Structure 1
Amino acid sequence: MKAVLFDLDDTLYDRYPAIRTYAQHYFYKDFGPQLSTIDQEWLAQALIAADGGPLRGGREAMQALQRALPWFPGKMPSWQELLAHWRAYFPYCSHWTPELDQLLRSLSQLGWKIGIVTNGPGPGQRQKIDTLGIGNYLDAVVISGEYGVKKPDPAIFMEALRQLGVAAHQSWFVGDNPATDIAGAVSAGLRAIWLRRYHRPWYGPLSKPPICKDSLVAVGEFLVSCSKD
């Protein structure tokens, strides 16, 4: 194996702490005056619930947030306003962790080529990478908003492989979403690892995950062991 591609959101960083940071440092500051008195921790939990994980899109999440929060009469923003705010500030909220650094450092030292394949707007996704401080480890970054094709379309995976100069059968893909990440990677001919956060259930077109790991530490240990085989 010569390369590994990663999903970004909820794979290379845990989305829940990022949402908590966004809720307490950005959302509360700008929308707090439009809400009846609420505790910031309750607000963070409400945003996490509205986000809904990998099964919920941006519009649906913002509409859930409209319903969940105690807005003053006539003060509820549109879902479009909420989504624009999210896209402007959430990219600054992703959290670097020692586990992330150890994973990428170990693979880089072993000579692996490393890339990211992610869905989302280009500026926001690139800001998340900058916020995490991992750009120096990356040999390829393919973002659906820039490339014009999104996961699970095999074309976006193949573009990343083209940039890395490796074949699909020489590469792994690691992601949290069974439908867009794992099924998409498998359809492109990559070997895939499902990162299962928070004991989420399996779903999607594949009957079961090819390989399942519960943490970035476990992913790293597995990939390093592959280098020794």
Structure 2
Amino acid sequence: MIKAVIFDLDGTLLNRDASVLKFVGNQYDRLNKGLSHISKEIYISRFIELDRRGYVWKDKVYQQLVEELNITTISWEMLLENYITEFHDSCVPFPNLIAALEDLKKESIRLGLITNGKGQFQMDNIRALGIDSFFDIILISEYEGVKKPNPEIFLKALNQLNVPANESAYVGDHPENDVTGAENVGMVGIWKRDLGWKDVKAQYVIDDLKELSLIIQELSKAA
């Protein structure tokens, strides 16, 4: 029987692609005086290319962006600070986020969240989505000193939830960091489909968060 479900954040609960697109457009508009020699479309598209869907931290992104686009009136440090402090205002949830968490809570499922990333930045995004109160535990890699797919962070979450691995499921969009990482400690791995990944072999797959409750019910019945 599944007693706990733990989630990834970016690409699973937070629609990061949509959030980044919204943020970078807003950043260009806010700082337009220093960016007016660049078209908005070029600024957005080059940021997204350099960002590599979040796998390159923004200090590197902005340093290269400033150099390539000949930005002279705004430093990369200023752009980075603006990203850190303002990104949460552009957070876009995936459809049915709140409803999916509410459905699991109604079934007395304990909820957790494990995300790689910077501590305060990720907490600001979690709060911006309005979901922090749903979770019994939240682990962020910077605060924990270890990141997915290291088994230690999964085991720490399970210990804090006081639920064994074989009665827990993990939901995430990254095949290795999330699905395989969870399965390696004995959890059920559920892949939230992401078209950025090809040929992913996962036993359980969802396209929409609203599908999750049914999978958890089926897993519990099969136990």
- Same fold, TM-score > 0.5, yes or no: yes
Q: Secondary structure at the match of 2:195?
A: helix
Q: Secondary structure at the match of 1:10?
A: coil
Describe the shift of the 1:219–1:167 C-alpha distance in structure 2 as closer, same or farther (beyond 3 A): same
Residue aligning to 2:47: 47
Residue aligning to 2:19: 18
Equivalent residues of 2:4, 2:167 under 8 A apart:
yes
Deviates more, 1:23-32 or 1:112-121: 23-32
Structure-1 separation of matches of 2:67 and 2:202:
33
Equivalent residues of 1:173, 1:193 under 8 A apart:
yes
Residue aligning to 1:38: 39
Residue aligning to 1:187: 184
Residue aligning to 2:194: 197
Alignment match of 1:218 (pick from 204, 207, 211): 211
1:72-104 CA distance string (max 9 Å, x none): 5x45744x5544432332233212455001110
Describe the shift of the 1:16–1:139 C-alpha distance in structure 2 as closer, same or farther (beyond 3 A): same
| Deviation, structure 1 residue 114 | 0.5
Describe the shift of the 1:210–1:75 C-alpha distance in structure 2 as closer, same or farther (beyond 3 A): farther
Describe the shift of the 1:192–1:85 C-alpha distance in structure 2 as closer, same or farther (beyond 3 A): same
Equivalent residues of 1:92, 1:127 under 8 A apart:
no
TM-score for the superposition, normalised by structure 2: 0.84
Structure 1: stretches of 5+ with no match in the other structure: none
Describe the shift of the 1:59–1:126 C-alpha distance in structure 2 as closer, same or farther (beyond 3 A): closer
Identity of aligned residues (%): 29
Pairing 1:8–2:24 present: no
Describe the shift of the 1:38–1:128 C-alpha distance in structure 2 as closer, same or farther (beyond 3 A): same
Q: Secondary structure at the match of 1:180?
A: helix
Structure-1 separation of matches of 2:132 and 2:58:
29
If asked which structure has higher relative contact order (CA below 8 Å, sep 6+), I would say: 2
Structure-2 separation of matches of 1:211 and 1:95:
25
Residue aligning to 1:146: 143
Structure-2 separation of matches of 1:221 and 1:212:
12
Amino acid at match of 1:36: H
Structure-1 separation of matches of 2:64 and 2:210:
33
Deviates more, 1:28-37 or 1:146-155: 28-37
**Structure 1 stretches of at least 4 aligned residues deviating more than 6 Å after TM superposition:** none
| Deviation, structure 1 residue 220 | 3.7
Equivalent residues of 2:10, 2:16 under 8 A apart:
yes
Equivalent residues of 1:151, 1:181 under 8 A apart:
yes
Amino acid at match of 2:109: W
- Give 1:145-164 correspondences, 5 Å limit: 145-164=142-161
- Give 1:94-109 correspondences, 5 Å limit: 94-96=91-93, 99-109=96-106
1:144-168 CA distance string (max 9 Å, x none): 1111111111111111111111011
Equivalent residues of 2:117, 2:142 under 8 A apart:
yes
TM-score for the superposition, normalised by structure 1: 0.82
Structure-2 separation of matches of 1:69 and 1:99:
39
Q: Secondary structure at the match of 1:26?
A: helix
